[in-house]
Structure 1
Amino acid sequence: MSVFNSSRLLGKTILITGASGGIGAATALLFAKAGSNLILLARRTEALQKVAEAVRAVPGAGKVAAVQLDVSDKTQVANLWKAIPNELRNVDVLVNNAGFVLGVERVGAIKEEDVESMFQTNVFGLVSMTQLLIKDFKERKTGHVINIGSIAGREPYAGGSIYCATKHAVNAFTGALMRELVDTPIRVTEIQPGMVETEFSIIRFRGDKSAADKVYEGLQPLVAEDIAEEIVWAASRPPHVNIAELFVLPVNQASATLSYRGGK
């Protein structure tokens, strides 16, 4: 069954954080192709509106709401429903995609503001969004939480201590949540990508594109659309099937620090 025309996603309402680019934007477009309604959240207003326009242009797409929101701002999260049309408030799938890594400094040289910003978005923002939605999921006895983790949540590496810590937290939170909901029909999934070439690495290197490009030299990394397909596929499984964890690597990557760079 194709993820692009699954009847299981037709008319469903999907909420995606970090929807202004990369994996979030690609995921929004694929859900639109499946006929889903979409609530798109991101900090960058202009980029978010461009994604919303692209989603609305997809033939067969459902209703679309785009809301400027920083998941690390608890007040904004608490007031989210005030900005959402009534017909989109029964969310079926929450995709906690917002997250980033900043810098490659090692412990002792990491700025406190970088530590705080990564935890505020990657962990606290994800938790806040999940707590907001999970109450409704429980009341309606339906729902699906899809958290975007990382290979960094499975395997720590030098120069990534804080990011790895945040993604290990996501992994632990997701696992605990799944166990808490075992007596409900609510599904919980974690998607764990390896190397994905998006603006993610440019942010890591503080805007240095040449440094970001070197991360992927000599191999073919994943792209945003690859992970989007896995997210939409997991959401389109039959209601009794839960894809608990999905670890996705490019073929020439075996771990966070082991890859083959023999040329694309």
Structure 2
Amino acid sequence: MVQKKIAVVTGASSGIGAATARRLVTEGYHVVAAARRLDRLETFVKEAGDATAVACDVTSDESVAELAAVVARLDGPLTLLVNNAGGARGMDPVAQGPVADWQWMYDVNVLGTLRVTQALLPALEASGAGSVVTIGSTAAFTAYEGGGGYAAAKHAQTALVGTLRLELAGKPVRVIEIDPGMVHTDEFSLNRFGDQAKADKVYAGVKEPLVADDIADCVAWVATRPQHVNVDRLVVRPIAQAAQHKVVRES
């Protein structure tokens, strides 16, 4: 019996992470869905069948170690890690931005990616054909007013990814970055603002923003290329968004 390849997806309880977990099951992976909200993950496992739910907080060393332990007990090679867990808080100017918000964004987006990657990299390398896919943002290379904390964290995350690619050169692990622009999910902007009206305003008038399944499609595409093909960075925006600050809105 051929063992199924294993994929780990962090932040898999909603949005891009949930869509990616669902998509990778259809691509033939045994998906380890990791997030803080275990009830949502268990619902996914019941629907998907061939999957494993793991309660995981990427800001906790102990929690990430337990994730790695669960993966090690599974029957099959770990070939794919999708670092998706992340988020933004607030749109305050640098002069007034709460340090606690900046610290949370750095811990989740940057140190969370670091913790999970460090914990699972030995297994990815041992598979002989591993891939690390990190979900970044177009904020990783463009600053904008009110986005200082998030942009700073995403700039740091992309520096981590680029450095990792250099350091793993010659080893059987691909390092891939996907940087979405405007993606309309149920929770990202709501979590950022804590207010539904403000969250809805982000997408107001935008005819067709990206949705979570669009990014899941990108993850599946890069992950299923031949192993010698490394898509270093994939930037994806809706057609209505030409740049971070240039969005066409219909009245």
Relative to the length of structure 1, the TM-score reads 0.89
C-alpha offsets along residues 86-123 of structure 1, whole Å, 9 cap, x if unaligned? 23463110000000001111113222221221111110
- Number of residues paired by the alignment? 247
Please list every run of 5 or more consecutive structure 1 residues that lacks an aligned counterpart in the other structure.
1-9, 57-62
1:203 aligns to 2:196 (yes or no): no
2:89 touches 2:192 (CA, 8 Å); kept in 1?
yes
1:244 to 228, 232, 239: 232
Superposition pairs for residues 94-173 of structure 1, below 5 Å?
A: 94-173=81-160
Which of 212, 215, 221 aligns to 1:233? It is 221
SS of the residue aligned with 1:38?
A: strand
| Equivalent-residue separation in structure 2 for 1:192 and 1:253 (angstroms) | 13
Amino acid at match of 2:143: P
Aligned to 1:69: 56
Counterpart of 1:80 in structure 2 is 67
* 1:155–1:256 CA contact under 8 A, matched in 2: yes
1:52 equivalent to 2:45? Answer yes
1:35 — aligned with what?
A: 28
**Does the CA-based 8 Å contact 2:19-2:212 persist in structure 1?**
yes
| Structure 2 segments unaligned to the other structure (5+ residues) | none
Q: Deviations over 1:228-255 (max 9, x none)?
A: 0000110000111111110000001011
Identity %: 41
Match of 1:189 among 163, 171, 176: 176
Residue 189 of structure 1 aligns to which amino acid in structure 2?
I
Aligned partner of 2:222: which letter?
Answer: A
- Measured after TM superposition, the shift of residue 262 of structure 1 is 2.7
Q: Give the one of 12, 19, 22 matched to 1:19.
A: 12
CA deviation after TM superposition for structure 1 residue 85, in Å: 6.6
Q: Provide the aligned C-alpha RMSD in A.
A: 1.6
Pair 1:95–1:88, CA change in 2 (3 A)? farther
- Please state whether the residue corresponding to 1:146 is helix, strand or coil: strand
SS of 1:164's partner is helix
Partner of 1:223: 211
Check 1:251–1:77 CA distance in 2 against 1; reply closer, same or farther (3 A cut).
Answer: same
What's the CA shift for 1:136?
2.5
Superposition TM-score, scaled by structure 2 size: 0.93
